[in-house]
Structure 1
Amino acid sequence: MQLFTAQSIGQRQSVVVTAQLQQAIQLLQMGNTDLQSFIESQAEENPFLEVGTRAAQPRSSRDLTLPSQLRSGGDDWDRIGQLAADPGPSLYAHAAAEIARLPLSPAEAMMAEAFLDALEPSGWLGQPLAAIADRLFITEAEAEQLLVKLQRVEPAGLFARNLAECLALQAADRGLLTPAFSTLLDNLPMLAQADLRGLCRACDVGMDDLKAMLRHLRSFNPKPGATFDATPIPQRAPDLIVTRGEGGWRVDLNRSTLPTVVVRSDEARRMSRREVTANAYVAERLSVARWLSRAVEHRNQTTLKVGAEVVRRQIDFLEHGPARMRPMVLREVAEAIGVHESTVSRVCSGILIATPQGTFPLKTFFSAALANREEAGEAGSASAVRHRIQKMIAAENPEEPLSDDHIARIIGQEDGVQLARRTVAKYREQLRIPSSVDRRRRAIVSRM
Structure 2
Amino acid sequence: MQLVHRQTQGQSLVMTSVMQQAIALLQLSNTDLQRYIEKEAEENPFIDVNGRHRALPSLPYSGNGPAEQDDPISRIENHPLSLYGHVAAQLDILFPNPADRAMADRFLEALDPNGWLVDPLDRIAADCGLELEAAEEMLHTVQQVEPAGLFARNLAECLALQAEDQGLMTPLFRKVLDNLPRLAAADLSGLARVCGCGLDDLRGPLKQLRSLNPKPGADFSGNDVSEREPDLIVTRGETGWVVELNRSTLPAVEVDETLLASKLTDPAARSYVGERLGVARWLRRAVEHRNQTTLSVGAEIVRRQVAFLEKGLGHIAPMKLADVAQAVGVHESTVSRVTTGILMVTPHGTLGLKRFFSTALPGETEGDEAASAAAVRYKIQKMIAAEDPRNPLSDDAIAKAVSAGGPVLARRTVAKYRDMLNIPSSFQRKRQGKLNAF
State the TM-score, normalized to the length of structure 1. Answer: 0.90
Alignment of 1:10-409 (within 5 A): 10-53=8-51, 77-78=59-60, 80-81=67-68, 86-102=78-94, 105-229=97-221, 233-268=225-260, 272-273=263-264, 275=266, 277-374=268-365, 377-409=368-400
Contact 2:82 2:222 in 1 (8 A): no
Deviation at 1:431, TM superposition (A): 0.8
Aligned-residue CA RMSD in angstroms?
2.2
* 1:75-104 Cα shifts (integer Å, max 9, x gaps): 973584486793321111211222233376
Letter in 1 for 2:361: L
Contact 2:360 2:373 in 1 (8 A): yes
- Distance in 2 between residues matched to 1:218 and 1:365, nearest whole Å: 38
What is residue 429 of structure 1 aligned with on the other side? 419
Letter in 2 for 1:287: G
Secondary structure of the structure 2 residue equivalent to 1:101: helix
Deviation at 1:110, TM superposition (A): 3.0
Flag the 1:278–1:9 CA change in 2: closer, same or farther, 3 A: farther
Secondary structure of the structure 1 residue equivalent to 2:283: helix
Contact 1:121 1:229 in 2 (8 A): no
What is residue 447 of structure 1 aligned with on the other side? 437
Flag the 1:77–1:174 CA change in 2: closer, same or farther, 3 A: closer
Contact 2:58 2:68 in 1 (8 A): no
Contact 2:296 2:328 in 1 (8 A): yes
Instruction: Find the partner of 1:418 among 386, 400, 408.
Output: 408
What is residue 71 of structure 1 aligned with on the other side? none
- Distance in 2 between residues matched to 1:177 and 1:82, nearest whole Å: 49
Query: How many aligned positions are there?
Result: 425
Flag the 1:311–1:2 CA change in 2: closer, same or farther, 3 A: closer
- Distance in 1 between residues matched to 2:423 and 2:270, nearest whole Å: 66
- Distance in 1 between residues matched to 2:222 and 2:85, nearest whole Å: 14
Letter in 2 for 1:309: E
Contact 2:58 2:69 in 1 (8 A): no
* 1:391-446 Cα shifts (integer Å, max 9, x gaps): 00010011000000100000011x22111111101111111111100111111111
Letter in 2 for 1:129: L
* 1:165-218 Cα shifts (integer Å, max 9, x gaps): 000011111222122211111111111111001111111122122010000000
Letter in 2 for 1:360: L
Letter in 2 for 1:51: V
Contact 2:83 2:221 in 1 (8 A): yes
Contact 1:326 1:381 in 2 (8 A): yes
Flag the 1:439–1:95 CA change in 2: closer, same or farther, 3 A: same
Flag the 1:2–1:309 CA change in 2: closer, same or farther, 3 A: closer
Secondary structure of the structure 2 residue equivalent to 1:243: strand
Flag the 1:300–1:322 CA change in 2: closer, same or farther, 3 A: same
- Distance in 2 between residues matched to 1:319 and 1:233, nearest whole Å: 32
Contact 1:272 1:282 in 2 (8 A): no
- Distance in 1 between residues matched to 2:58 and 2:312, nearest whole Å: 23
* 1:127-155 Cα shifts (integer Å, max 9, x gaps): 10000000011111110011112212211
- Distance in 1 between residues matched to 2:145 and 2:10, nearest whole Å: 76
State the TM-score, normalized to the length of structure 2. Answer: 0.92
Q: Which runs of 5 or more structure 2 residues have no equivalent in the other structure?
A: 61-65
- Distance in 1 between residues matched to 2:367 and 2:220, nearest whole Å: 50
Contact 1:181 1:203 in 2 (8 A): no
- Distance in 2 between residues matched to 1:395 and 1:343, nearest whole Å: 40
Flag the 1:206–1:2 CA change in 2: closer, same or farther, 3 A: closer
* 1:51-90 Cα shifts (integer Å, max 9, x gaps): 1127xxxxxxxxxxxxxxxxxxxx9735844867933211
Identity rate, percent: 57
Letter in 1 for 2:26: L
What is residue 62 of structure 1 aligned with on the other side? none
Higher relative contact order (CA 8 A, sep 6+): 1
Shifted more, 382-391 versus 83-92: the winner is 83-92
Secondary structure of the structure 2 residue equivalent to 1:374: coil
Flag the 1:372–1:150 CA change in 2: closer, same or farther, 3 A: same
Flag the 1:281–1:106 CA change in 2: closer, same or farther, 3 A: closer
Contact 1:82 1:235 in 2 (8 A): no
Shifted more, 157-166 versus 87-96: the winner is 87-96
What is residue 60 of structure 1 aligned with on the other side? none
Q: Which runs of 5 or more structure 1 residues have no equivalent in the other structure?
A: 55-74
Secondary structure of the structure 1 residue equivalent to 2:219: helix
Shifted more, 316-325 versus 259-268: the winner is 259-268
Letter in 1 for 2:43: E
Flag the 1:216–1:230 CA change in 2: closer, same or farther, 3 A: farther
Contact 2:232 2:245 in 1 (8 A): yes
Contact 2:34 2:251 in 1 (8 A): yes
Contact 1:243 1:355 in 2 (8 A): yes
Contact 1:305 1:337 in 2 (8 A): yes
Secondary structure of the structure 2 residue equivalent to 1:22: helix
Deviation at 1:295, TM superposition (A): 1.0
